[in-house]
């Protein structure tokens, strides 16, 4: 469990980091909390030439209010995200999901940006970001660009980040109206990843569900939106029956994997149950 030798850079600003990445050679890995990267290096499944450690880049940490959005710095740790008043006020779904991530030790080091950039299909935060329609701010030597969540997750462990780029911050739009949220995670032991999980964000209006956004964890190579359920719920009555009925299409358009924890057909079943539960709770029923 010793990683192969690598060069190491520890910049203290985003610009320095981008420079270090550019100069790091062929295979550069950015390190945030190291909670996913280090194990994979120790298992020698990754052997980067250079590791660029972002822990000293202070400008990437913290959550700030930016008018119509809250902005979460990529290097904000899970612990800091979970306990941040802005997050709790405007995007409690993120706090709820982050609380289910791993254990205290991992949450003390692992970061919001690292989890999203890693894009583990079993990771909890990508589906949450997708359900909240978050925007990803990416910096490169040529400047910054913003990518919506719907375009950020490209494939298995693959995002819209190009070589030489850095995820800087995540903008989570503030929601207007009466919103309820729920993250329904299904796993076998407390510190484990999701077998399947469902992030539901629901806006209610006079006994109806005006809008529902549903993100699915581990139902394919990337996080997915349960569009069929969303469509069925839009404008529907907020009753257990309509929700149960809508949840039946939660597996539509998904392509879950088969592994030790669950074969694909079981995941397709689970996602329906969990969607029903998540939406019911988010709708305040």
- Which residues bind to other proteins, rule: CB under 8 A? 1-2, 4-5, 29-30, 36-37, 39-40, 42-47, 117-123, 154-159, 161-163, 186, 188-193, 195, 218, 257-263, 266, 269-270, 273-274
> What is 82-105 written as a DSSP string?
HT-HHHHHH-HHHHHHHHTSS-HH
Q: Pick one of 18, 37, 72, 95: the residue that binds ligand FAD (CB under 6 A).
A: 37
- Residue 181 or residue 196: which is nearer to other proteins going by CB? 196
- Residue 158 or residue 227: which is nearer to other proteins going by CB? 158
Work out the number of other CB atoms within 10 angstroms of the CB of residue 192: 14
**Does the footprint of ligand FAD cover residue 50 (CB under 6 A)?**
no
Identify what 156 binds: ligand FAD, other proteins, none; CB under 5 to 8 Å per kind.
other proteins
Which region among 102-110, 201-209, 231-239, 245-253 touches ligand FAD (by CB under 6 A)? 102-110
Work out the number of other CB atoms within 10 angstroms of the CB of residue 6: 17
Identify what 20 binds: ligand FAD, other proteins, none; CB under 5 to 8 Å per kind.
none
Q: What is the separation of C-alpha 179 from the centre of its chain, rounded to a whole number of angstroms?
A: 20
Identify what 280 binds: ligand FAD, other proteins, none; CB under 5 to 8 Å per kind.
none
Comparing CA positions, the residue from 16, 106, 22, 91 lying closest to residue 60 is 16
Secondary structure in 3-state letters for 252-281: CCCCCCCECCECHHHHHHHHHHHHHHHHHH
Q: Pick one of 71, 72, 93, 167: the residue that binds ligand FAD (CB under 6 A).
A: 167
Comparing CA positions, the residue from 59, 66, 61, 282 lying closest to residue 173 is 66
Identify what 163 binds: other proteins, ligand FAD, none; CB under 5 to 8 Å per kind.
other proteins
Supply the minimum distance, in Å, between the C-beta of residue 195 and other proteins. 8
**Does the footprint of ligand FAD cover residue 123 (CB under 6 A)?**
yes
Distances in Å between the Cα of 109 and the Cα atoms of 35, 55, 72, 189 are 7, 10, 16, 20
Q: How far apart are CA 3 and CA 44, in angstroms?
A: 6
Task: For the segment 62-81, give every residue that binds ligand FAD (CB under 6 A).
Answer: 74
Supply the minimum distance, in Å, between the C-beta of residue 16 and other proteins. 19
Provide the phi-psi class of 79: left if phi over 0, else alpha when psi is between -120 and 50, else beta: alpha
3-class state of residue 143 by DSSP: strand
9 near 37, Cβ under 8 Å? no
What residues make contact with ligand FAD under the rule CB under 6 A?
29-37, 54, 74, 101-102, 106, 110-111, 113-115, 117-118, 120, 123-125, 161, 166-167, 191-193
């Amino acid at each position: 469990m010793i990683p192969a030798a690598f060069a190491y850079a520890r910049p203290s600003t985003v610009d320095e980091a981008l420079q270090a990445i550019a100069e790091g050679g062929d295979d550069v890995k950015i390190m945030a909390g190291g909670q996913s990267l280090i194990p994979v290096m120790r298992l020698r499944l990754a052997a980067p030439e250079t590791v660029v450690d972002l822990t000293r880049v202070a400008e990437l940490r913290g959550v700030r209010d930016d008018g119509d959005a809250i902005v979460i710095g990529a290097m904000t740790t899970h612990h800091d995200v979970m306990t941040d008043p802005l997050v709790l006020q405007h995007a409690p779904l993120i706090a709820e999901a982050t609380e289910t991530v791993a254990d205290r030790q991992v949450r003390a080091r692992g970061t919001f940006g690292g989890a999203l950039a890693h894009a583990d299909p079993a990771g909890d935060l990508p589906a949450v970001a997708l359900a909240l329609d978050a925007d990803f701010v990416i910096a490169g030597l040529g400047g910054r660009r913003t990518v919506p969540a719907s375009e950020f997750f490209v494939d298995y462990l693959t995002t819209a980040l190009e070589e030489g780029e850095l995820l800087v911050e995540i903008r989570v739009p503030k929601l207007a109206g009466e919103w309820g949220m729920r993250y329904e995670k299904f796993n076998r032991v407390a510190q484990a990843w999701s077998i399947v999980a469902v992030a539901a964000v629901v806006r209610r209006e006079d006994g109806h569900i005006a809008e529902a956004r549903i993100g699915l964890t581990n139902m394919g190579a990337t996080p997915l939106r349960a569009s069929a359920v969303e469509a069925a719920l839009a404008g529907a009555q907020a009753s257990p029956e309509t929700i149960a009925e809508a949840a039946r299409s939660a597996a539509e358009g998904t392509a879950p994997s088969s592994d030790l924890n669950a074969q694909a057909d079981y995941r397709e079943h689970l996602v329906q149950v969990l969607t029903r539960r998540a939406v019911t709770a988010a709708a305040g029923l």
